[in-house]
Amino acid sequence: MFKPKGVIPALVTPLDKNGQLMEDALRKVIDYTIAGGVHGLFILGSSGEIYGLTPEQKRRVVEVTVDHTAGRVPVYCGASEITTRDCIQTAQMVEEIGGVSALSVLTPYFMSPTQTELADHFKAIAKSTKLPIILYGNEARTQVKIDVKTCEELSKVDNIIGIKDSSGDMTKTAEYLRVTPRESFSVLLGRDTLIYAGLCHGATGAIASTGNIAPKLVADIYNTFVAGDYQKSLELQFKLAPLRLAVDKATFPVVLKEGLRMVGIDVGYAFGPAAEMNPESRKLLENVLKDLELYQIY
């Protein structure tokens, strides 16, 4: 079974002012991140504004990404709708297109399922597709937790192969690692400030939104760790921290899109009501990128 590992940026979806997909900009982001040494690409996640895309746009994002990536790195795709039915529809659409290595399925949002209902939700989606499934917990945004016992139960499903943990709770991350089979189940960090800590505990990598802007820096946290240079990996983690903290200075994912503009790739706008950064926050981001020697004047 496929085993997710490394640094996988959660790509933004480039959109013009009218909310239309900017396909050429998506290709530029793909090339930029792959050139930075990332180990995979993740599309149709929260960074990719899956919640605002039409079914036709979702399909086109998958088609463009698979075609342009052309096997250079694995492609991961979100199937993160609110209902089980709609997640299954997205999963089957992705499988039909082909070229995607695994699906990521976020917990439902706007509703609060019990852990039994949540487990049944994930099992139904896994049963509906031949693609491997990565569970995705982001309780700060969805208000729905994946309990450790639920993760342990789901890790026994043949094509559920991992979890992305964005809780920010390293005790929970460590428990996911303790109770799931290391040889067949991957735990991936979803908090960019905790990549090093996760690797120390046995995580296999991270799905990292800052990988859009600073792909080489984020990838090298992983690369130096697996090479045994733990001190360098920690130094790079500290170096990344100001960028990740800057991401919270505007409505998500506005900072990611503004950061890509600042490194030379215009990816347009976020869906309203998200608005552009205020001047103070934009200046902070600019200074962070200058410190990282990523800022481009164009």
Q: Which domains does the chain have, with CATH numbers?
A: 6-240 (3.20.20.70)
Distance CA 37, CA 108 (A): 32
Residue 297: its pLDDT value, please?
59
Task: Give 182: exposed, middle or buried? Use CB within 10 Å, 0-12, 13-18, 19+.
Answer: exposed
215, 41 in Cβ contact below 8 A?
Answer: no
Residue 249: its pLDDT value, please?
86
Token pair, residue 13, equals 């979806």
Which sequence positions are flagged as catalytic?
136, 164
Model pTM? 0.95
Residue 209: its pLDDT value, please?
96
Residue 248: its pLDDT value, please?
86
105, 134 in Cβ contact below 8 A?
Answer: yes
Q: Is the dihedral of CA 196, 200, 201, 206 positive or negative?
A: positive
Residue 255: its pLDDT value, please?
95
Q: Which residues pair with 157 in a beta bridge?
A: none
Residue with tokens 């991961």: 76
Residue 279: its pLDDT value, please?
93
Binding residue numbers: 207
3-state secondary structure of 275: coil
Distance CA 163, CA 95 (A): 20
Distance CA 188, CA 218 (A): 14
- Provide φ and ψ at 83, rounded to 5°: -105, 155
Token pair, residue 162, equals 């991992």
Binding residue numbers for pyruvate: 207
Residue 296: its pLDDT value, please?
87
Residues of the chain with pLDDT under 50: 298
Distance CA 292, CA 195 (A): 18
Task: Give 156: exposed, middle or buried? Use CB within 10 Å, 0-12, 13-18, 19+.
Answer: exposed
Distance CA 136, CA 45 (A): 10
Token pair, residue 130, equals 């031949």
